[in-house]
Amino acid sequence: MERPLTKNIHLNRPPLDAKEYEMAGGYLAVKKALLKMAPVDVIELIKESNLKGRGGAGFNTGMKWSFVPMGEKAPSTKYLVANADEMEPGTFKDRLLLEGNPHQLLEGMIVAAYAIQANTGYVFLRFAYKEAAKRILQAIKEAYEAGFLGENILGSGFTFHLHLHTGVGRYMCGEETALLNALEGKRATPRAKPPFPQVSGLFGKPTIVNNVETLCNIPHIINNGADWFKSLSHSEDGGTKLYGVSGNVNAPGCWELPMGISMRELIEEYAGGMKEGYKFRGVLPGGASTDFLTELHLDIKMDFKSVSMAGSRLGTGTMIVLDDRTCPVGFVHNLEQFFAHESCGWCTPCREGLPWVEKILWSIEQGKGSLTDLDLLEEQARLLGPGNTFCALAPGAAEPLQSALKYFREDFEQHIHQHKCPYD
Amino acid sequence: MKEDLENKNTTTVGLNEQERTAIDHEVSLVPYPKAACIEALKIVQNNRGWISDEALSAIALYLNMSAAELDSVATFYNLIFRKPVGQHIILLCDSISCWVMGYRVLYNELNKQLNIQFGETSPDGMFTLLPNACLGCCDHAPAMLIDDDLYRDIKPNELESILKKYN
Amino acid sequence: MATLYIDNRPYDVKEGKNLLETCLTLGFDLPYFCWHPAMGSVGACRQCAIKIFKDENDTAGRLVMSCMEPVGKETRISLDHPDAEKFRKSVIEWLMTNHPHDCAVCDEGGSCHLQDMTVMTGHNYRRFEFPKRTYVNQYLGPLINHEMNRCIQCYRCVRFYKDYAGGKDLDVYAAHNHVYFGREKDGILESEFSGNLAEICPTGVFTDKTLKQHYSRKWDFTFAPSVCQHCSLGCNIIAGERYGELRQITSRYNGDVNGYFICDRGRFGYEAANSVDRIYQPALKEENVSLNQEYIINDIAALLSTSNCVGIGSPRASLESNFALQQLVGNGNYYSGWSDEEHRLNKAALNILQNRTAEIVSLKQIEQYDSILILGEDLTNTAPMAALTVRQAVRKKPVENAQQNINLATWHDAALREYIQQRHSDLFILHPHSTKLDEIATQVSYSTPHEIAAKGFTIAAAIDATADQVIDQIATSLLNAQKPLIITGTSLFNEPLLAAAEAIVKALKKRGKQPGIFITQADCNSMGLAMMNVPPLSSAFSKLSDSTLIILETDLYRNLSTEKADEIMNLPKRIIVFDHIKSTTSEKADIKVPVGMFSEADGTIVNNEGRAQRFFQVFVPKNEWLKESWRWLSLLKALKDGKAIDENLSISNIQSTLVEALPQFRGIEDAALSEDFRLNGQKVPRAPHRYSGRTAMLSNENVSEPKPPQDIDSPMSFTMEGYRGIPPSSVTPFFWSPGWNSVQSINKFQIEIGGPLHDGNPGVRLVNSNSSITPIDFEQKTEKISLKEFEWQLVPVYHIFGSEELSAKAPAIAELTPKPYLGLNQYSLAKLNLQENDMATIEHHGRAYQLPVRLRAEINNEVALILFGLPQTAFFVKPVIIKIRPASNGITNNNSKHE
Ligand SMILES: Cc1cc2nc3c(=O)[nH]c(=O)nc-3n(C[C@H](O)[C@H](O)[C@H](O)COP(=O)(O)O)c2cc1C
Ligand code: SF4
Ligand code: FES
């Protein structure tokens, strides 16, 4: 099984430095793309590979790049941003790439920037990733020294400067347009789309924001081609995927596996199955803002389409397992508390709706709820759905809520009837 | 005729040389000074632990923005501290995987040992305890960050020795 | 044109607007909060949700925010769809989770947009069972009250205050459902437009603090359409009365003049009408007793028929009053009340407009100009609303670029700001000192007034193709602009400035441009007075000895130096002053006759662009003295001529005589509908139909309800009886429409949202630009001023609060008026051996005056700034050369620290 993203990651030693990375075949893609390919060829190749964004939404990356204005009439300043904010609860995949092989990200960014002809790039890194910050800074320094960053890279005439920006908290910063506001030194409230960042992004200039994992795939596609990339996968979405499992399983962790591996394989084999004394009850397949799936769904393929057919989303591909000794109401309450707290306060449904939901859940959890509360929760989950709010935060928050009400309704009712949490 | 406003020498009041140099560098990377305000807040906070009203005004003046505008940004982000904090900041992850894996036990233990709740600073001024959204260590939950040090798979009985390191 | 299907019915609509605007224009009731017609859409509140369908066959549709969706060629939407209705109701429910139930005691109750929208969406049952969030309020100064618990987080306040008006000290703090709107710390709001918050905020967070002192519900007010009297721009206002007292001023929409807003001087200056300085009783100087009406009138009439009479008119009195005085004293005996300088300045302003070299630009039209040069005006303080429109104008070019480059609609507010960033169209400011608009200027430079004028001529020469090729950034920008605009004014008392402005527009014209010109003046009717074409005060001198001098609503001591004014006041045998407010002049008069202020009077004034606008009496004061000056003067004329007194003399009577005698004013009759106009045979009520307490309010005096006063001057009644519906724009006393109690009801009064009012914006332009006239070459006029040792040029600095005579009498404005000072730069201070806050001794006309010194680092070595218009600085009424005593010789000034 090929693991292009993680093959050079060895957790028991520091990441490869620029030299070691080059010796392991690194920066070949930079040489190939910048010296032998036209920007549009790079975009076409990525499009063809069917690489889908790994930040959660799963949009074709090459397609996204192709919306950036090119040519003489295009603005001369453009930006590329790596979204390394990874704050979705239960998600810990980008950390592996950032800490394990920062040069791979840099290489992906250089090629991506070349494809859209951006001369400045940022890594937007969350505050908590202290080790990653050090390693990225070191890698940037080395890449400048090796001539992969800076003016006229490898004599190609292409210039790319890269900066690290570390955040100061707030989950909203991961939303790509809020991220741009944060980078501009503003409150991280989201922006309206359209206009999309591809035409009016950072400082009003065309900008591409890509997830770290998305960008780390780029060098490998350049080196090995679209067909190779597609062949890595078990499904129609190209490539491998970093999958993670957390919760009461025997071996929680994060692995690079073919896109479309089954959920059962992930939980039972890679994560070693449930811990002794714990039974599987459900799972959030792709981070906190995805719908619960249950035992019924264990055999689905973990790719964008299959997970959504099952009623959830692949999201970040990092799952959180709910076991039979953990209270689902408390579980959902914890999630909604997070979302309510992380709402930026810009649009009404999210700002006012989520705290209401959180309060109702808490009163149910404490045995003070009533059955009408469940209808109210269901209604709120519907009202907070996609399109109704300004950005995807609240719809994300609605997903675990609505599915918990569907799959674990009994638990809610027990709280209400027993006037206490049955798991206490 | 005098062109333009005179150079504002007064604007440097309240920031030290080192802070100014660091901020100047950040300003040089962005199209206009204001855009570096989050970096500037971080620089000053790293240096002083928190952002006092005076520090806020000094940074605002230096970046040619109003105190209100800067405070609007500063108060949005939960890791810019507008109140004094202890010498060490404990960020305890309270998000879902850590919650499942027993963060509450950790919290109660911290509570007991330091005698503080979330948002409070220990009486000796050593620790400020804050909740933090997912630290990205879900496979090693529960997790906690003290200053720059990450602790993972924490057992409640390890807390005492961890905290000792900072005393 | 496009077709919009709303719930399956087709409508012809304009493409490119957003759906919310379009639906409101079509008359639909669609709730909203974060959208504002002047500020566009941001999509935050989610209140305006509707369903949109792909095509005829799409029945499911998609929920969208109507404010964020453009009208396409063929768009299908539903407002009534159950999903949309349900969602809109839920939005209110969410907002209400934290909104207090304090409507009964809330200042906004009865004119609250939130109340209206709550009723509109049908939310009436509370399901939220938890405690509400609460906030701490802030002290925001004497104008605006803060009550944050009522906030529904629509973000309109910050968007107006910060984005639209350029304020710095109001912002949004924190996140999620703890967001807070206010200042960083308690303190006085710094923006000159803060009062608009009371109208911008859809609920009772920001309210008019002065109204709080004498509060009334909107439905209990008697209103009248009026025109602001506090500067030359003539912003339209609504004045509200209760219990015989003027209690509130709000903005009155006029799409050509002030749009939706007014400045704080205009909103809060009204309390001059209630000030202790009002003249309520007539008085004879010697006897110092109050006298009865008949006695006084007969006495004056007798005087007038025996002696030679001279009249002095006023730039702050109505055309009708000025004309009535002219009629009374005779054409050759009537003078303007202006000093020679002011006379020349205002004539020059008028001439430029009449010369028709440039487009005469209205206040609101400023926003359409893409390169602006301001020659010696501190707009924020002399013509505040013009500063607000200039702030919008500098967005013109970038907004157009955004449209062209990435197809962004002009209403897409946040996206536009994100795209535009710090870019702005060109704005150049040449002024003696720094001004608030400097921050958005491309280039500013500080110099003496005559240097500014000289620079203006240089620019004109550079533009003029015949001149040598000069590389001048300003000239280049004006030449490259689609619409260049020159703004200047009379505040620096510098005639060459106006000549320079004219030279520039002429040069631009010659180069094939269509330049605009905007000239500000001192008073609300300065242009009207200039158009009357009467000589200045100095010409009256020869006639004054032994005369009877009638002074109309003016304080000579503000227009002339103390010495000059004293000289005039000593010549006549008798001086009669007609005024509503005390002044140095009125206190020196032999006979003082009280008259009505704008709220108690009808009249017409002409603003700086030559637009005649009518203001209407709000209420009939119990004090019978408070009649319009023109009514008094006409009555006196009848007495003097031995004619019968016409009890029913109305404003249109005097207007028709006026336009006959002075044809340049033809058109003023059309500035408002005449008194015999009726709608369905009815008058337009000044009071809302829910007006309460009429039968009770005077019952302490008389239990039988008095007959309501009759209005012979307008088609409006003083009661709630009359025509129900939307009245014509010139006689719209207030904005209200069923279901729309708040000021947002304005939407129902416009032909199209943000466009003209239903039958056109009121007001008539008397001077029209005619661009077909071929330009003439300009003449260079500059003066050279040479200073001796220890001499400085005194240049006036204006402050929005304090520099204008009437508003300065309002307590809230007085609280904000700065202390007088003398501004000098570092060089001058050093030369004088003075430090900040020291007392400087100024020698002028042989007298010595003391003022504390303030460092104004930016100004020229030759300039000394003096705060204009305060009683303490009244001894300087125009730029003069002064001598300042250096501190070293003799007494040290240090021990006389100010404050
Ligand atoms: C509330 C919210 C938080 C998000 N957080 C992240 C994040 O931490 N990292 C990330 O890559 N994408 C995040 N996203 C998705 C981004 O908006 C964006 O879609 C993504 O960065 C695009 O990258 P991709 O095309 O490579 O997937 C978030 C979205 C929302 C609505
Ligand atoms: S204070 Fe008023 S205007 Fe501002 S956000 Fe709140 S409700 Fe809106
Ligand atoms: S008015 Fe449309 S979202 Fe607020």
Which pair of tokens denotes residue C754? 């943000």
**pLDDT score of C872:** 83
Q: Which residue's CA is the closest to the ligand 2 atom numbered 2?
A: C201
Q: pLDDT class for C897, splitting at 50, 70, 90?
A: very low
C641 by DSSP, 3-state: which?
Answer: helix
Average pLDDT over residues C593-618: 97
pLDDT digits (tens, 9 = 90+) for C190-208: 999 999 999 999 999 999 9
Q: Are A103 and A252 within 8 A, CB to CB?
A: no
Chain C residues touching B2 at Cβ < 8 A = 445-447, 858, 860
Residue-range definition of the domain harbouring residue B48:
2-76
Residues B52 and B96 in one domain: no
**Which of C138, C184, C189, C435 should be substituted to probe chain B, the one whose Cβ sees the most B Cβ atoms within 10 Å?**
C184
> Cα distance from B77 to chain A (closest Cα, Å)?
6
Residues B71 and B129 in one domain: no
Ligand 1 centroid, distance to A132 Cα (angstroms): 19
Q: Which DSSP string corresponds to A358-389? A: HHHHHHHHTT---HHHHHHHHHHHHHTSTTTS
Q: Which of B6, B71, B78 sits opposite C173 (nearest CB)?
A: B71
Q: Are A367 and C110 within 8 A, CB to CB?
A: no
Task: Report phi then psi at B78, rounded to 5.
Answer: -75, -10
Q: Are C166 and C192 within 8 A, CB to CB?
A: no
The residue of chain A nearest to residue B100, with distances taken between CA atoms, is A247
Q: Has residue B12 got a pLDDT over 50?
A: no
C463 touches ligand 3 (CB under 6 Å):
no
Burial degree of C812 (CB within 10 A; 0-12, 13-18, 19+): buried
Chain A residues touching C68 at Cβ < 8 A = 192
CA atoms of C189 and C142, how far apart (whole Å): 9
CA atoms of C370 and C270, how far apart (whole Å): 35
pLDDT digits (tens, 9 = 90+) for B44-91: 999 999 999 999 999 999 999 999 999 999 999 999 999 999 999 999
C422 by DSSP, 3-state: which?
Answer: coil
Which pair of tokens denotes residue A271? 């994560």
Minimum-distance ligand to the CA of C411?
3
- Which atom of ligand 3 lies nearest, measured to the CA of C68? 2
**pLDDT score of C895:** 42
Q: Has residue C621 got a pLDDT over 70?
A: yes
Instruction: Compute CA C826 distance to the chain's CA centroid, rounded to the nearest angstrom.
Output: 36
Q: Which DSSP string corresponds to C596-639? A: --GGG--EEEE-TTSEEEEE------SSTT---HHHHHHHHHHH
Average pLDDT over residues A304-322: 97
Q: Is B37 annotated as a binding residue?
A: no
Q: With respect to residue B82, please indicate whether it lies within any of the assigned structural domains.
A: no
Domain A328-418 sits in CATH at 1.20.1440.230
Residue C430 pairs with which residues in a beta bridge? Answer: C375, C445
For residue A19, the tally of other CB atoms under 10 A from its CB is 12
pLDDT digits (tens, 9 = 90+) for A183-202: 999 999 999 999 999 999 99
Q: Which of A86, A126, A334 sits opposite B96 (nearest CB)?
A: A334
pLDDT digits (tens, 9 = 90+) for C274-305: 999 999 988 887 665 556 777 788 888 888 88
The residue of chain C nearest to residue B5, with distances taken between CA atoms, is C858
- Which atom of ligand 1 lies nearest, measured to the CA of A58? 27
Q: pLDDT class for C781, splitting at 50, 70, 90?
A: low
Q: Which of B2, B69, B71 sits opposite C445 (nearest CB)?
A: B2
Q: Which DSSP string corresponds to C842-876? A: EEETTEEEEEEEEE-TTS-TTEEEEETT-GGGTT-
Residue A271 region, left (φ>0) first, then alpha (ψ -120 to 50), else beta?
alpha
Whether B72 and chain C come into contact, CB under 8 Å, resolves to yes
pLDDT digits (tens, 9 = 90+) for C480-534: 999 999 999 999 999 999 999 999 999 999 899 999 999 999 999 999 999 999 9
Residues B51 and B102 in one domain: no
Whether C442 and chain B come into contact, CB under 8 Å, resolves to no
Which pair of tokens denotes residue C863? 């300039």
Whether B71 and chain C come into contact, CB under 8 Å, resolves to yes
Torsion of CA C427, C429, C435, C438, to 10 degrees: 40
| Whole-number percent of chain C with pLDDT over 70 | 96
Which chains share 3+ C-beta pairs under 8 angstroms with A? B, C
Ligand 2 centroid, distance to C182 Cα (angstroms): 10
Q: Are C688 and C219 within 8 A, CB to CB?
A: yes
Chain A residues touching C95 at Cβ < 8 A = 348, 352
List of residues 6+ apart from A407 with CB closer than 8 A: A282, A292, A294
Q: Provide the pairing of β-strand A207-211 with A79-84.
A: parallel
| Whole-number percent of chain A with pLDDT over 70 | 100
**pLDDT score of A24:** 97
**Burial letters C389-408, b for 16+ CB under 10 A, else e:** bbbbbbbbbbbeebeeebeb
**pLDDT score of C188:** 98
For residue C808, the tally of other CB atoms under 10 A from its CB is 23
User: Could you tell me which of C565, C629, C528, C800 has the C-alpha nearest to residue C279?
Assistant: C629
Which pair of tokens denotes residue C138? 């802030």
Q: Has residue C889 got a pLDDT over 60?
A: no
Residue C61 region, left (φ>0) first, then alpha (ψ -120 to 50), else beta?
left
Give all domains of chain C, ordered by start, each with its CATH number.
2-93 (3.10.20.740), 98-212 (no CATH), 279-347+528-672 (3.40.50.740), 358-514 (3.40.228), 791-885 (2.40.40.20)
Residues B105 and B126 in one domain: yes
Ligand 1 centroid, distance to A252 Cα (angstroms): 23
The CATH number of the domain holding residue B22 is 1.10.10
Which chains share 3+ C-beta pairs under 8 angstroms with C? A, B
Q: Are C263 and C385 within 8 A, CB to CB?
A: yes
C142 by DSSP, 3-state: which?
Answer: coil
User: Could you tell me which of A39, A35, A38, A29 has the C-alpha nearest to residue A80?
Assistant: A39
Residues B65 and B125 in one domain: no
> Cα distance from C32 to chain B (closest Cα, Å)?
25
**pLDDT score of C293:** 75
For residue A104, the tally of other CB atoms under 10 A from its CB is 32
Instruction: Tell me which residues have their CB closer than 6 angstroms to ligand 2.
Output: C 151-157, 181, 200-203, 205
C731 touches ligand 3 (CB under 6 Å):
no
* N- to C-terminal Cα separation, chain B: 62
Which pair of tokens denotes residue C117? 């929208």
**pLDDT score of C133:** 95
Q: Is B134 annotated as a binding residue?
A: yes
Residues B47 and B100 in one domain: no
Listed range (A80-89, A248-257, A368-377, C760-769) with the worst mean pLDDT:
C760-769
List of residues 6+ apart from A146 with CB closer than 8 A: A18, A19, A22, A27
Task: Report phi then psi at C290, rounded to 5.
Answer: -85, 145
Average pLDDT over residues C454-473: 82
A211 touches ligand 1 (CB under 6 Å):
yes
Chain A residues touching B137 at Cβ < 8 A = 92, 95
Q: Are C812 and C526 within 8 A, CB to CB?
A: no
CA atoms of B61 and A39, how far apart (whole Å): 43
Residues B92 and B159 in one domain: yes
**pLDDT score of C846:** 81
Burial degree of A121 (CB within 10 A; 0-12, 13-18, 19+): buried
CA atoms of A88 and C571, how far apart (whole Å): 87
CA atoms of C148 and C341, how far apart (whole Å): 50
List of residues 6+ apart from C404 with CB closer than 8 A: none
Contact A200 C175 (CB under 8 A): no
For residue C480, the tally of other CB atoms under 10 A from its CB is 12
The CATH number of the domain holding residue B128 is 3.40.30.10
| Whole-number percent of chain C with pLDDT over 90 | 86
Average pLDDT over residues A99-128: 97
Average pLDDT, chain C: 93
Contact A168 B136 (CB under 8 A): no
List of residues 6+ apart from C616 with CB closer than 8 A: C224, C225, C226, C602, C672, C713, C714, C716, C731, C733
Contact A92 B139 (CB under 8 A): yes
**pLDDT score of B162:** 96
Q: Is B98 annotated as a binding residue?
A: yes
Q: What residue ranges do the domains of chain A occupy?
A: 18-231, 240-323, 328-418
A390 by DSSP, 3-state: which?
Answer: coil
Q: Tell me which of C162, C181, C199, C200 to substitute to probe ligand 2's pocket, judged by most ligand atoms within 8 Å of the beta carbon.
A: C181
Cis amide linkage into residue C762, ω under 30° from 0: no
pTM above 0.80, yes or no: yes
Minimum-distance ligand to the CA of A394?
1
User: Could you tell me which of C93, C2, C18 has the C-alpha nearest to residue C50?
Assistant: C18
Minimum-distance ligand to the CA of C138?
2
Helix A130-145 / helix A102-116 crossing angle, nearest 10 deg? 60
A250 by DSSP, 3-state: which?
Answer: coil
Architecture per CATH, A240-323? Roll (3.10)
**pLDDT score of C769:** 58
Q: Has residue C779 got a pLDDT over 90?
A: no
Q: C-side interface with A, Cβ within 8 Å?
A: 42-47, 49, 62-64, 68, 87, 90-91, 94-95, 97-98, 127-128, 130, 152-153, 155, 172, 174-179, 406, 408, 412, 414-415, 418-421
Q: pLDDT class for C768, splitting at 50, 70, 90?
A: confident
Continuous H helices in A197-300: 212-231, 263-264
**Which of A161, A163, A246 should be substituted to probe chain B, the one whose Cβ sees the most B Cβ atoms within 10 Å?**
A246
> Cα–Cα distances in Å, from C832 out to C791, C795, C836?
11, 18, 11
How many residues are given for chain C?
Answer: 899
Question: What ipTM does the predicted assembly reach?
Answer: 0.95
What total of structural domains would you count in chain B? 2
Ligand 3 centroid, distance to C50 Cα (angstroms): 11
Minimum-distance ligand to the CA of C117?
3
> Cα distance from A34 to chain B (closest Cα, Å)?
25
**pLDDT score of C294:** 78
Residues B94 and B72 in one domain: no
Whether B4 and chain C come into contact, CB under 8 Å, resolves to yes
User: Could you tell me which of C566, C571, C565 has the C-alpha nearest to residue C549?
Assistant: C571
C45 touches ligand 3 (CB under 6 Å):
yes
CA atoms of A256 and A273, how far apart (whole Å): 18
Q: Are C293 and C830 within 8 A, CB to CB?
A: no
For residue C894, the tally of other CB atoms under 10 A from its CB is 12
Q: Which of C184, C444, C455 sits opposite B4 (nearest CB)?
A: C444
User: Could you tell me which of B27, B167, B21, B151 has the C-alpha nearest to residue B87?
Assistant: B167
Burial degree of C504 (CB within 10 A; 0-12, 13-18, 19+): buried
Q: Is B93 annotated as a binding residue?
A: yes
User: Could you tell me which of C100, C128, C125, C126 has the C-alpha nearest to residue C114?
Assistant: C100
Ligand 2 centroid, distance to C690 Cα (angstroms): 27
Q: HEC string of B108-142?
A: HHHHHHHCCCCCCECCCCCEEEEEECCCCCHHHCC
Domain A18-231 sits in CATH at 3.40.50.11540
H-run or E-run covering A61: helix A61-66
